[in-house]
Homo-oligomer: A and B are copies of this chain.
């Protein structure tokens, strides 16, 4: 079956959706295939049928949306570079915004959280993702940033890019922390715009010394 019924999602997609959320909430290792298939109303064997192994499942889960985000990043960065040398703010905007706004559906925040968690785990599957998906992207951005602030040494660019990743990842994966208790003022409510603005303001200031 390759045609999609409008009402009911394919088993494969249901599994990926549930896996995405559960991996994000409880972590990769702590999430059992049984809890995934049960909630997805699929058979346990379905995950091995469609994905082979659990490792392959999370790889496909991450890649299906990360590739969209990263393609959008590259696309926007290229567009910026066509009309001159973009500013640090413009570069960072093209990096942050796709991650936040590509999925306006607030439920998709699970994916961002999963991404953040995964970057802090050291599984073998992560290394594969890094090499194929991350390093080329990072190189393009470091190059662009170097041109935007040539007075900053390449070593410092790398440090600050690293810091910036940390700020962004922590923000997306701990967004619920910001919404609760100690920070009643900063509500998100599915509107990421303030978060993006403040993140750009903070990180661009850090970049420009």
Contact = CB atoms under 8 A, between A and B. Distances in A.
Interface residues of A, number: 49
A171 B160 contact: no
Interface stretch (A13-21, A55-63, A74-82, A162-170): A162-170
B25 A122 contact: yes
Interface string A196-209: 00110111011111
The dominant DSSP class at the A interface is: helix
One complex includes copies of this chain to the number of 2
A120 B122 contact: no
A171 B178 contact: no
Interface stretch (A4-12, A37-45, A97-105, A151-159): A151-159
A1 interface: no
A12 B146 CA distance: 50
B165 A170 contact: yes
Contacts of A202: 159-160, 163, 206-207
A193 interface: no
15 contacts: A29-B29, A117-B121, A138-B182, A155-B183, A156-B198, A158-B185, A158-B186, A159-B198, A160-B198, A163-B202, A166-B168, A170-B170, A201-B209, A202-B206, A203-B206
Nearest to A162: B178
A195 B158 CA distance: 12
A173 interface: yes
A198 to B, nearest CB: 5
Contact of A167 (B139, B164, B173, B208): B164
Contacts of A119: 174
B159 A170 contact: no
Nearest to A159: B198
A199 B30 CA distance: 33
A121 B29 CA distance: 11
B163 A199 contact: yes
